[in-house]
Amino acid sequence: MTVKNDQFFLLSRLLGSIDYMVMHGFSEKKISGLSHDSRTCKPGYIFFAASGCHVNGHDYIDKAIANGASTVIHTERISIFAEGVCYIQLQDVKRAMSRLSAEFYDNPSGKIPVIGVTGTDGKSSTCFFLYQLLQNNGYKPALFSSVWKDSGKGIRENSTHLTTPDAIEIHKFLAEAIADGCRTAVIEASSHGLSPATGRLLDISFSLAVCTDITSDHLDFHGSRAAYIDAKMNIFRQLIPGGSALVPVHADWRPALEAVIGDDQKIRSWSVELPDKHGIASVLKPNLSIVIENFSSTGIEVSILSDTFSWAGKLPFVFFTQVKNFAAALLAYLEFCIGRFPLKTLSFNTMEAVKGRFKLLSAGENGTILFDYAHTEHAFLNVFSDMRRLYPDSRFIAVFGSPGERDASKRVNLGRIAAEYCDIVILTEDDSRSEDTTGIIKEIKSGIPDSYKGTILIDTDRRSAIVKALRNSTPESCILLLGKGHEKTIERRNHSVPWDEEAVVREALSAVRRKPYA
């Protein structure tokens, strides 16, 4: 992607948008690109010496210059300067990276409506449902989520583990989407991405902001649930004038939203009712409601009613949680239609679930296998309760771990919740990173009460743990493989291991001499 407007090539024009303390070696330069990775720098690039948990960007300044960087933006004091290079010292590299990325790519979020989706769980599914609704009804969308991305040239997998990319990549992505004829962009926004500490989304303007729900996660980064909620509220702080905030009708964090929403912005809500909750009055009337009439193995029969739309029929999902995410996407679609294009007759028959979420595999003598990305307490409760509703008499076997270098406070509760639903709990690795897998497993196991009457198995190798689950299964079993979902690697200390959970399962089924039906 190249910048077409010459004014954004000039260093002096870019620097007019940031506050800096000290500059050394300034001369007018044409900037050809931006990077915070010294390996990707080229002649004419600005290098941002950003620091993370494990890397200090200042250690790579010389490498960036050797690769062609003509400008270095940094925070630490520098005493030796390379000839011909402009050094700019300021207080916050990531904030500057966000601002300069927006300027360099000509502020793309001001030129295309951006729909942001945040929340603790359900972000990827809501994004993908909304993407399909827009695409199926002739309104070409771009998509950037933790699973899929499409800048207008076709959908492909997101190969990184990042829900929200860095500021340079997100502004570049939006500029490419505009160039490729996209008429809107759907972006998954994590709490990290919305935090000023990372600066990833600081200069994105949202036309519509959706929050699936906020429970608790990433407290290692945010420090408290209040701070976590406040980070999520940034998506609403960045709403354009006249924009809409879409939230669950019963959100307990609604006061935080009302404190930041503007007088010219709207709050819209949705609800999903279970069959046994029909007729229960709500204090707040939702703008869209989905009433579940019947669960079945071929779909869920529902009635949908909104201010502008009504429909009754069968959705191609089997899990309650999927309907909740679909409700958020549908309300976002209906809200986005207003004033932009006439509402067409909607068909939901071809709607697909996002990869690695609530994927069921019939495994013959080994019962039924579920693949899901669940890794938070709330997601665990959703998965287990949905599976128990679908398979009320089955024997549950869960295989899971918990990511290293991430919020450790949830580990105890993951063990406790699994013990409530499962006959066998097999604790194994997730992305342990620099942490010791055995230590993580010990923390999870501490949440399983002493009164638990099921079986606890421990295997630090995930492939071996899956084989154990299969060997302990019967035709009436449900094996729940949690935490990896769509991901293509397992992150171990200092290296990544290629991983495809479904492929591993199919291979393991052959190893135990039991073939899947499908």
Q: Where on the phi/psi map is residue 301: left (φ > 0), alpha (ψ -120 to 50), or beta?
A: beta
Answer whether residue 354 is part of any domain. Answer: no
3-state secondary structure 193-234: HHCCCCCCCCCCCEEEEEECCCCCCCHHHHCCHHHHHHHHCH
For the chain, the domain total comes to 3
Answer whether residue 345 is part of any domain. Answer: no
Same domain, 69 and 167: no
- pLDDT tens digits for range 92-111: 999 999 999 999 999 999 99
Using only C-alpha atoms, what is the Rg of the chain?
24
- For residue 23, the 8-state DSSP code is E
- pLDDT tens digits for range 261-298: 999 999 999 999 987 665 444 557 899 999 999 988 88
**Does residue 53 register a pLDDT over 70?**
no
Answer whether residue 208 is part of any domain. Answer: yes
Same domain, 96 and 174: no
**Token pair listed for 118:** 């945040």
The pTM assigned to this predicted structure is 0.88
Amino acid at position 443, single letter: E
Of 135, 71, 81, nearest in space to 104 by CA: 71
Answer whether residue 54 is part of any domain. Answer: yes
Give me the residues paired with residue 117 across strands.
188, 210
Answer whether residue 350 is part of any domain. Answer: no
C-alpha torsion angle, residues 77, 79, 80, 86 (rounded to 10): 50
CA–CA separation, 73 and 48 (whole Å):
5
Instruction: List b or e across 479-515, with b for residues whose CB sees 16 or more CB atoms inside 10 angstroms.
Output: bbbbbbbbbbbbbeeeeeeebebbebbbebbeeeebe
CATH of the domain at 333: 3.40.1190.10
Q: Where are the beta strands (DSSP E) in 32-130?
A: 33-35, 45-48, 71-74, 86-89, 114-118
Answer whether residue 346 is part of any domain. Answer: no
CATH of the domain at 478: 3.90.190.20
Same domain, 300 and 249: yes
Same domain, 412 and 497: yes
Same domain, 82 and 138: no
Answer whether residue 433 is part of any domain. Answer: yes
Amino acid at position 516, single letter: P
pLDDT band with cut points at 50, 70 and 90 for residue 5: very low
Same domain, 128 and 70: no
Same domain, 285 and 367: no
CA–CA separation, 478 and 473 (whole Å):
8
Tell me which residue range forms the domain holding 287. Answer: 108-337
Same domain, 329 and 408: no
- pLDDT tens digits for range 461-483: 999 999 999 999 999 999 999 99
Of 7-11, 28-32, 207-211, 275-279, which has the strongest mean pLDDT?
207-211
CATH of the domain at 57: 3.40.1390.10
* Tokens 């160039």 belong to residue: 179
pLDDT band with cut points at 50, 70 and 90 for residue 326: very high
Same domain, 100 and 178: no
CA 229 to chain centre: 16
Answer whether residue 124 is part of any domain. Answer: yes
Of 58, 95, 59, 97, nearest in space to 75 by CA: 58
Mean of pLDDT values over 318-325: 93
